Amino acid sequence: VRVLIAGADGYLGWSLLLHLAARGHVVAGFDNLSRRARVREMGSDSATPIASWAARLPLAEARGIEFLLADAAGSPDLIAATVRDFKPDAVVQFAEIPSAPYSMIPGREWEVQQNNLASTWSIMNAIRKHAPDCHLVKLGTMGEYGTPNLPIPEGYAEMLVVNRRVGSVDWSQTDTVPFPRQPGSFYHASKVHGTINLALAAKTWGLACTDIQQGVVFGCETADMTHPDLLTRLDFDEYFGTAINRFCCQAVIGHPITVYGKGGQTRGFLPLADSMQCIQLILENPAGAGEHRVINQIESTYSVRELAHIVRREALNLGMPARVSHIDNPRDEAEEHFYQVEAEKLRVMGYVPSTGVGAEVRRMLITLAKYKDRIEKFRHVLVPQQHWSGEKIPCATT
């Protein structure tokens, strides 16, 4: 498959470039390096010492990967020319700002939505114009659904409206409709807007679209990162770090593991290597023309509290003095709730989970211990301050 990856310098993008190139696919990628800049602006850095863009260029070239500087949101003409010249069979859209807390900073809400909508928009247009048979694989999020008191299907569901009086008639009727999206941040809302645009592009332009509703990814390496120069980034600050990755960095430097509120928040998680395996399967089994295919991409579900204790257990076994601390929840979210997710499509395609969460956490702790000094230097970014109300005050231990 000829694959063009938008957002190729990020956590998932760089990992996917290496993964696909190692498996015989023809790969090109582009990025505007904004993730590097935003993490620096938030006062942090990647825990792993990633190669600079200039140093990544020859590493990519040596693997036959074309690697370009381009801004998906800001340069639609350049994106169109790239699609025209590379003639991809598939484009993977990762070029979005992926942070819920960042999107709740007063004044940044629209920056996130504008970037995320514009980048997908320029890719959809480029495909429509220059590669109408190309498969668009867009990264959405499980957070689009929120935490309804219902099992979450893969995108669409039968809806039964019971006994609604319209005029003088009582109606009870079913239809297949998009499952309700209830995002909990302006970032998650941007992904919902993306889903709506993708569904419409499939329906009206005939684009072949896969909309991945991915859970929280964790892990700091894959089998393709055979040398430290090939490592992908791993963020641990309150904005761009995510639950397990942050917990492991905290454990490595003996900082309390920060469970927000009661910790009953349950989410779908999957290791980085499994995210790569799933996207490869999706690329090798494309959606049909005019199809908006929604896939829930998770390995299994856990509460944040359970995960914190798994990280603590694995860290203690490695002699790290880890402890779990509950702190005020800066977010507006349910802390105890029902959560059941249907995630069958990838299993049908052949997805086999590679490892258990405990084993992957252990591997992460061993790798991250090598970069303890880098994490220690940014200890101040571990306690969250950005509240969903817009206020910025450090969260206290409860």
Q: From CA 139, how far away is CA 194, in angstroms rounded?
A: 9
Choice between 88 and 98, CB closer to ligand USQ: 98
Which is the catalytic residue, given 187, 302, 351, 371?
Answer: 187
Shortest CA distance to 157 belongs to which of 294, 291, 345, 338?
294
Answer yes or no whether residue 215 interacts with ligand USQ by CB under 6 A: yes
Which two three-digit tokens encode residue 164?
């609604």
Q: Is 191 assigned a catalytic role?
A: yes
Rg, the chain, Cα only: 21
156 catalytic per annotation: no
339 is catalytic: no
**Residue 120 or 258 with smaller CB distance to ligand USQ:** 258
Residues in the chain: 398
Q: Which of 48, 82, 120, 141 is catalytic?
A: 141
Contacts of ligand USQ in 121-150 (CB under 6 A): 141-143
Asked if residue 100 binds ligand USQ (CB under 6 A), the reply is yes
Dihedral-angle region of residue 121 (phi above 0 means left; psi in -120 to 50 means alpha; beta otherwise) = alpha
Spell out the residues 6+ positions from residue 323 whose beta carbon is closer than 8 angstroms to its own. Answer: 256, 257, 312
Closest CA relative to residue 252, chosen from 375, 397, 384, 381: 375
Residue 62 CB, shortest distance to ligand USQ, in Å, is: 30
Pick between residue 89 and residue 333 the one whose CB is nearest to ligand USQ: 333
For ligand USQ, which is the closer residue by CB, 202 or 259?
Answer: 259
* Total number of residues that touch ligand USQ (CB under 6 A): 20
- State yes or no: residue 230 binds ligand USQ (CB under 6 A): no
In whole angstroms, the minimum distance from the beta carbon of 87 to ligand USQ comes to 30
Q: Which long-range contacts (CB under 8 A, 24 or more apart) does 199-205 make?
A: 199/292, 201/124, 201/128, 201/136, 202/287, 202/290, 202/291, 202/292, 203/290, 203/292, 205/124, 205/128, 205/132
Q: Which residue is nearest to ligand USQ (CB)?
A: 143
CB of 385 to ligand USQ, least distance (A): 12
- Smallest Cα–Cα separation from 258: which of 271, 244, 269? 244
Which amino acid makes up residue 292? Answer: H
Choices 11-19, 84-92, 240-248, 279-287 (CB under 6 A): range interacting with ligand USQ: 240-248
Neighbours of 282 (CB within 10 A): 23
Q: Is the dihedral of CA 381, 382, 388, 394 positive or negative?
A: negative
Q: Which of residues 244-263 bind ligand USQ (CB under 6 A)?
A: 246, 258-260
* Active-site annotation holder among 138, 191, 222, 232: 191
Contact between 345 and ligand USQ by CB under 6 A: the answer reads no
Largest CA distance in the chain: 72
Does 331 help bind ligand USQ (rule: CB under 6 A)?
yes
**From 22-30, 92-100, 159-167, 222-230, span contacting ligand USQ (CB under 6 A):** 92-100
Among 120, 232, 265, 386, binds ligand USQ (CB under 6 A): 265
Positions marked active-site: 141, 187, 191
Binding site for ligand USQ (CB under 6 A): 98-100, 141-143, 215-216, 242-243, 246, 258-260, 265, 267-268, 304, 331, 333
